[in-house]
Amino acid sequence: MSDSNYIKIFTGDMIIVQRIVSELENADIVPVVKDQTESARLAGFGGGNFPGFQEVFVNKDELDKAVVIVESITSELQD
């Protein structure tokens, strides 16, 4: 496996991922969203292990700033 400049910072429901992506973009961070279920479906392999869940990745250079945003959103949702 090759080294990547991207690190996974969140895995969760599509609705929460959309909120996180929006907040990251507002902070000038460009996230990458990976949806294995949709990728498998498009390739003809059926669903994945966690239907409806997506992963959010950010560049290593933006990790510290992105983690603060994700923690803020997830703690807000737990209250």
Residue 54 lies in a domain: yes
Q: What is the mean pLDDT of residues 26-42?
A: 78
Q: Tell me the CATH number at 36.
A: 3.30.70
Q: Do residues 31 and 66 make contact, with C-beta atoms less than 8 angstroms apart?
A: yes
Residue 1 lies in a domain: no
Domain that holds residue 14: 6-78
Count of domains in the chain? 1
pLDDT score recorded for residue 1:
37
3-state secondary structure of 4: coil
Residue 59 lies in a domain: yes
Given a cut of 90, whether residue 32 has pLDDT beyond it is: yes
Residue 67 lies in a domain: yes
